[in-house]
Structure 1
Amino acid sequence: MANILRLVVVVCGFCSSDVAFAGFTTRKLGPQPIWNSTVTDKLRQDLLLNYDKFARPAQHYNTTKVVFGLTIRHIELNEFKSTLVVHSWIRLSWKDEKLQWNSTNYGGLETLNLADHEIWQPDIFLYNSATSSGITHYGNVNCIVYEGGDVLWVPPAQFSVLCNLNLKYWPFDTQRCEMIFGSWTYNGDQIDIDPDNDGVKMELLIENSEWNIVDKSLKKNMKYYACCPSPYPDITIDLTLSRISPSYKALIVTPAFVVIILVLVNFWLPPQAGEKLILNGCTALIICLFMLYFTQKIPTMGTHTPLIVFFYSSCLYVVGFSIITSVVVIWLSRTKHSSPLPWIVKQPLTGTFGKILGLQTYIQQSSMTSHRVTAEEMRDHQVTDFDENNSGDEHHIIKSSNKMSLQQDWILLAAAIDRITFCFFSFLFLILTIVYSV
């Protein structure tokens, strides 16, 4: 019996020592706070404890109202990709029924900053985005939560939107692009999106060196689809952009007038001048360089080809015909003709029609040559005491004079072709200018 009592005492002492050691260990090794918690910490713990950020913060039969606004910072338009990049700030506000508290219970704390990944956010995305691989448009910034459950989120965003560009009037064109925002998964009975009172703001806009925003609008649309009875609201922002084109006037429009002048001046050179071909060749080279410039500056489009491209290509055709005309004129004026100019052609050219064309100089030269030949022939008939050598020389002079008179008539015809072509091409350039500038 005594042995049993001693055993019980030993066991009890051993157990009491273990408990004491365990208590000592707990007191020694337990977590010790190194800072004092604030009211904000307590509020965050109370709000976010068991908070599900993937569930819409309202009863399933209630609608979450989202107010949408946009502040544009900068724009970039890419003609080759038909995209508009908009750097902006988005303003989204909604009511989260799960984030409400009484400020009197938390030391008068009325607002709370929460990270965007900590709470629920409406899935408002750009429907006509050009970047389908990266659909998240917004930067990671905090949300401001008010004690009544109102949430304000103003993240920076970069949107790349597809635009249907019309470059017909390039470089004096105006483009219109749309940005369509809406919920990606919720219908109008779950999330209703409305524009705010400010709409599209541009106070912080950094000007673009090539484009101006001349008009903007923001409106709400309600769309119904055959699959679902509920509406799907969206916010459509229309941006009208006008190209800043003074530099293009110096680079493109002014050379166009120079090309026209070069083509027309060619027809006022003397008919025998071989410089006609050189001038036409230089003009064709200038036009080809501009066509290469256009291929680098604007995309090749199946529709809406710029009118300035049509104009330069038409000028290239005109220069081609001008080269053909110059070859004909040079051939007529330089070739030694054996047959005289037909009377039916020469008579109008030496009459009123020739004077209208400005051929007085060539008419006088032809008349002087003909008069000199007639005088020589008369003197040949009147004078009979020349010796044979003198008669031979006089006959040679008369023959040469006849050839000169014949050649002057063909030069007159070549000059007339130049003048007629000048009038035709002047009228043609006038038509091209009117058609391609409207």
Structure 2
Amino acid sequence: MDRVASVVVICLVATTVIARRDSSEFSCPSSSSSTTAAKLRDQLVCDYDYNIRPVKDHRNATTVQFRLLLKYFQYDHFSHMLSVDAWFTTFWVDEHLKWKPDDFEGIKSIHLSSSYDIWVPDISIYNRKDQSTDPKAIGDTMCSINYQGTVLCVPPLHFDALCVPNLKKYPYDTQECTVRFGSWVHKGEEVNLKFITPVIDTEDLETNGEWELVSFKGVRHRGNYSCCPNSTYPSVDVVLEIKRNSHTHAINVVLPLIVCILLTITTMTMSPLNNDRFILSCVSLIAHIFHVQNLSYSVPVTGENLPSLLSISRDSTLLAGVSVVLTVLLKNLMQNKNQSPQWVSVTASVLIGSRPGQLIFLPDNSLKGAAAAQKHEDGETIISNLEIPTNSSSDWFVFAKFLDVLLLITYVLTYFIILISF
């Protein structure tokens, strides 16, 4: 009985040893492929785990370098979205994908799938607009591997990144958009992310009708955080500075504003007694209102700063509305038949006490001719009160005319200050 038990134990041990030996022998069976390239592929992917970082010592970091081959970009300031189409050129070294070319008829490179054959870094775009999709920048593509283990992947990449606009100088604005790349789960001691200088290649960039790429740069952040003092989480910022091609926008929003401003100033040069001034003032106000509404469709209501153009349009609309009210008030003041107070009469006398004042403030040629100046021995010019028909009507007219000229000067200076501030 003991002998039988011993035989059974020996058989079990022998079976286990044979099974383990057979398992090790057939984990990577000889390739039955007819071509050398296929045999090389079979050897490389045999017993390869694409979920594990490709290092023999886990304490060594995998250095990943990348560059964007920019093909096209578009920016929408309404949705705060920068859309980019590019080729994502990526390099790293896979220590498990090395071979001797002499063993495979001199083959020095091979192509393998990034999805099923080899490990690829989980580089992601942190400020992607849609966070619900797969964050990986390297999708399904074929990668080139040379015999030294260097892996090159150039997958097509499309992403929409968040970029809040600064519209203060709209439509002559320049936007700075940042796209941040980094590993999704690995720390810097595992995946060391770097960029290739220059970080963007624009050789094949298609021109954009609305935006022009002015400059770009890459900025690497080490990624030290107080929560994790013993680890780093590096990231790379790709910064694009884009400038708006403002020709069309200038025609749509700037030129109408200039016309509205000139229209308002023109009304201020006309006499308040002229009915055309009131009509033109109303037309100017209506034109301003339509312009502000048109501008509201061209500029989003959100952003870091209020567009200066919108502020100018707002102020100009206010001035146009005030000019309508002033036209009515000045016309009534000029036609006032009531007795003028003493200070109005004194002001009128001072204003017409010179030849320029007579030309500017007196209502007609008969009054201008009647205001003959007499000279005293000391050279001072005064107006003879007996020769000038200084009734209340003319006093009100001269005073209103003075206010009208003063308002014209005020409007011109106000618009000048507003425009130079833009």
TM-score (norm: length of structure 2): 0.80
Matches within 5 A, 1:262-277: 262-277=263-278
Is 2:42 aligned against 1:54?
A: no
Matched, 1:115 2:113: yes
> SS state of the match for residue 166, structure 2?
coil
- The aligned residue for residue 21 of structure 2 is none
Cα RMSD after superposing both structures: 2.6
Secondary structure of 2:169's aligned partner: coil
Superposed displacement of residue 198, structure 1: 4.0
Whichever residue aligns with residue 141 of structure 1, its letter is T
Task: Give the corresponding residue for 1:131.
Answer: 130
- Local SS of the residue matching 1:90: strand
Structure 2 residue matching 1:87: 3-state secondary structure: strand
Is residue 138 of structure 2 the alignment partner of residue 149 of structure 1?
Answer: no
Hey, what does 2:24 align to over in structure 1? none
CA distance in 1, matches of 2:335, 2:198: 78
Rounded to whole Å, the distance in 1 between the matches of 2:358 and 2:296 is 41
Q: Offset at 1:334?
A: 4.3
* 1:46-125 superposed matches below 5 A: 46-58=43-55, 59-118=57-116, 119-125=118-124
Map 1:262-341; keep pairs closer than 5 Å: 262-301=263-302, 303-334=304-335, 337-339=337-339
- Distance, in Å, in 2 between the alignment partners of 1:360 and 1:233 is 75
1:340 deviates by 5.6
How many Å apart are 1:155 and its aligned residue? 0.8
Greater alpha carbon shift after TM alignment, 122-131 vs 304-313: 122-131
Deviation at 1:302, TM superposition (A): 6.6
Distance in 2 between residues matched to 1:270 and 1:56, nearest whole Å: 85
Higher helix share: 1
Aligned to 2:39: 42
SS in 2 for 1:42: helix
Match of 1:27 in 2: none
Q: Which residue of 2 aligns with 1:432?
A: 418
Which residue among 330, 346, 350 is the counterpart of 1:344?
346
Distance in 2, matches of 1:357 and 1:178, equals 65
Q: Is the 8 A contact 2:358 2:368 kept in 1?
A: no
Q: Cα gap change, 1:340/1:53 in structure 2, threshold over 3 Å: closer, same or farther?
A: closer
Counterpart Cα distance in 1 of 2:203 and 2:159: 19
Q: Deviations over 1:323-342 (max 9, x none)?
A: 1110112223345x243675
Query: Which structure is larger by alpha-carbon Rg, 1 or 2?
Result: 1
Q: Which amino acid in the other structure matches residue 430 of structure 1?
A: F
TM-superposed CA distance for 1:38, in Å, is 1.8
Contact 1:138-1:158 within 8 A present in 2 as well:
no
Judging changes above 3 Å, is the alpha-carbon distance between structure 1 residues 370 and 237 closer, same or farther for their aligned structure 2 residues?
A: closer
Distance across 2 between alignment mates of 1:173 and 1:317: 25
Q: Residue 420 of structure 1 aligns with which residue? A: 406
For residues 410 and 318 of structure 2, the distance between their equivalents in structure 1, rounded to whole angstroms, comes to 14
Range 271-280 or range 321-330, more displaced: 271-280
Where does residue 205 of structure 2 map in the other structure? Answer: 205
Q: Deviations over 1:281-323 (max 9, x none)?
A: 1111221122112211111137410011101100111112111
Q: Report Cα offsets for 1:50-91 as digits up to 9, x if no partner.
A: 321111111312221111111111111111122211211111
Deviates more, 1:121-130 or 1:248-257: 248-257
- Once residues 343 and 363 of structure 1 are traced to their aligned partners in structure 2, the CA distance between those partners, rounded to angstroms, is 18
Q: What per-residue deviation string (whole Å, max 9, x for no partner) do you get for residues 94-145 of structure 1?
A: 1112222222222222211112212110001112222201224445321111
Structure 1 pair 211–357 and aligned structure 2 pair: CA distance change class (3 A): farther
CA distance in 2, matches of 1:358, 1:258: 30
Opposite residue 131 of structure 2, the aligned amino acid is S
Which residue identity lines up with residue 41 of structure 1 in the other structure? A
Whole-Å separation in 1 of the counterparts to 2:371 and 2:242: 69
2:240 corresponds to which residue? 239
User: Which one-letter code corresponds to 1:39 in the other structure?
Assistant: T
What one-letter code is carried by the residue in structure 2 that aligns with 1:45? Answer: D
Paired residues, number = 369
Find the counterpart in structure 2 of residue 171 from structure 1: 171
Q: Is the CA contact 1:350–1:363 (under 8 Å) kept in the aligned structure 2?
A: no
**Cα distance, 1:47 vs structure 2:** 1.7
Q: 1:234 to 1:36 in 2, by over 3 A?
A: closer
SS at match of 2:96: coil
SS in 1 for 2:410: helix
Q: Which residue of 1 aligns with 2:4?
A: none
For 1:313 and 1:421, the matched residues in 2 are separated by 19
TM-score, normalised relative to structure 1? 0.78
SS of the equivalent of 2:95 reads coil
SS of equivalent to 1:289: helix
Q: In 2, Cα distance between the equivalents of 1:146 and 1:153?
A: 12
Distance 1:106 1:61 in 2: 31
**Cα distance in 2 for residues equivalent to 1:156 and 1:187:** 25
Aligned to 1:30: none
Quickly say closer, same or farther: Cα 1:100–1:220, change in 2 above 3 A: same
- How many angstroms does 1:407 deviate by? 4.4
CA contact (8 A) 2:281 2:323 kept: yes
CA offset at residue 348 of structure 1?
2.3
Correspondence 1:365-376 to 2 at 5 A: 365-367=366-368
Say if 1:55 and 1:281 are closer, same or farther in 2 by CA, change over 3 A: same
CA contact (8 A) 2:89 2:155 kept: yes
SS at match of 1:359: helix
- 8 A Cα contact 1:211 1:241, kept in partner: yes
| Local SS of the residue matching 1:362 | coil
| Structure 2, gaps ≥5 residues long | 1-31, 373-388
Cα distance in 2, alignment partners of residues 201 and 208 from structure 1: 16
Residue identity matched to 1:165:
P
- For the structure 1 residues 295 and 178, does the alpha-carbon distance in structure 2 shift closer, same or farther, using more than 3 Å as the test? same
Gaps of 5+ in 1: 1-34, 372-401
